[in-house]
């Protein structure tokens, strides 16, 4: 599933095509994805201007001049793809929607944005912009890891009574919004913390190292266009390439990349997810 860097990369790619532009035509090609689409979705989108395109956790939010916000979740395999020309493309010049092109938005300026989702685990909803933070998909989310509300004091307070492994705590969307399995593995490696370590056993110094490491890993991944393992593509179709910078994720049995370390990367399963780490570097 796309994590925060992949979603932010897609948002940045879509912004020049969608922000301050009107949706000239919305073609909703099926009644649902993971859940049913909201009533009259095509009519509620057609003719509306997108005032701002933002991200909350793993969701893209398109604020419309109608006072509603389109919530977009990419699911497991969803892609937002841009096609067409900015020089006034005619409708017949645009590609015929493919089998898994479920939502097609023809934008002011000649571009087309298509939501393609072969596995249909994605989702879209429309909600009053003023009520976005109360939406069922968003209300439970913790602070953004790249925002000011996520800091050492906050994290220490949330972890002090947590008896779960630190890997599980960092994946808890109610504690930090948007972190997923790949980037938590990389963060724990950089901070030399084993994934099984109980959260309430972490010292103040170790917690203080976590916050900048989270920011660094996510920022580097965003600048690299995210990580492409199977399905992720940027909005222009390019692959992400942060996977080439993985220090532990997916490297089971390979030598640790830390200079002077003679260990190999190990894998354990926690709550059904693979955790990769170096037993010599991480304690």
Domain ranges of the chain: 4-134, 152-278
Look up 21 and say whether it is catalytic.
no
Nearest to 28 by CA among 138, 105, 136, 80: 105
For residue 239, is pLDDT > 70?
no
Is the CATH number of domain 152-278 1.10.8.50?
yes
Q: Is the pLDDT of residue 237 over 90?
A: no
* pLDDT of 208 over the 60 cut: yes
- 189 touches 248 (CB < 8 A): yes
CA–CA gap between residue 103 and residue 42 (Å, rounded):
9
Q: Is 99 a catalytic residue?
A: no
Residues 6+ apart with CB under 8 A from 4: 55, 57, 58, 145, 177, 178, 179, 180, 183, 218
Catalytic residue among 34, 44, 120, 273: 273
Would you tell me which CATH number, out of the four given (3.20.190.10, 2.40.50.140, 3.10.580.10, 2.40.50.100), belongs to the domain 4-134? 3.20.190.10
pLDDT digit string, tens, across residues 57-107 = 999 999 999 999 999 999 988 999 999 865 554 444 677 787 899 999 999
Taking only the tens place, the pLDDT of each residue in 13-36 is 999 999 999 999 999 999 999 999
Q: Is 273 a catalytic residue?
A: yes
Q: Is the pLDDT of residue 219 over 90?
A: yes
Residue 92 CA to residue 18 CA, distance in Å, equals 21
Identified catalytic residue from 11, 58, 190, 209: 58
Instruction: Report d(CA 82, CA 125) in Å as an integer.
Output: 20
Helix axes 152-159, 204-223, angle to 10 degrees: 120
Residue 204 annotated among the catalytic residues of the structure:
no
């Amino acid at each position: 599933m796309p994590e925060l860097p992949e979603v932010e990369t897609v948002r940045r790619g879509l912004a020049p095509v969608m922000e301050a532009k009107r949706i000239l035509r919305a073609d909703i090609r099926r009644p649902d994805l993971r859940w049913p689409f909201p009533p009259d979705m095509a009519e509620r989108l057609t003719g509306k201007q997108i005032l701002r395109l933002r991200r909350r956790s793993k969701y893209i939010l398109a604020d419309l001049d109608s006072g509603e916000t389109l919530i977009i979740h990419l699911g497991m395999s969803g892609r937002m793809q841009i096609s067409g020309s900015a020089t006034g493309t005619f409708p017949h010049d645009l590609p015929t929607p493919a089998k898994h092109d479920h939502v097609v938005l023809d934008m002011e300026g000649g571009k087309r944005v298509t939501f393609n989702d072969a596995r249909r685990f994605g989702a879209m909803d429309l909600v009053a912009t003023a009520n976005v933070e109360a939406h069922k998909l968003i209300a439970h989310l913790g602070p953004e890891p790249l925002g000011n509300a996520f800091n050492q004091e906050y994290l220490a307070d949330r972890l002090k009574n947590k008896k779960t492994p630190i890997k599980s705590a960092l994946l808890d969307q109610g504690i930090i919004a948007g972190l997923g399995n790949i980037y938590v593995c990389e963060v724990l490696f950089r901070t030399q913390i084993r994934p099984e370590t109980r959260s309430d056993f972490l010292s103040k110094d170790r917690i203080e190292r976590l916050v900048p490491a989270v920011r660094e890993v996510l920022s580097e991944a965003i600048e690299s266009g995210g990580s492409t393992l199977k399905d992720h593509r940027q909005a222009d179709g390019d692959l992400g390439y942060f996977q080439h910078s993985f220090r532990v994720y997916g490297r089971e049995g390979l030598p640790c990349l830390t200079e002077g370390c003679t260990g190999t990367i190990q894998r354990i399963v926690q709550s059904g997810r693979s955790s990769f780490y170096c037993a010599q570097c991480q304690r």
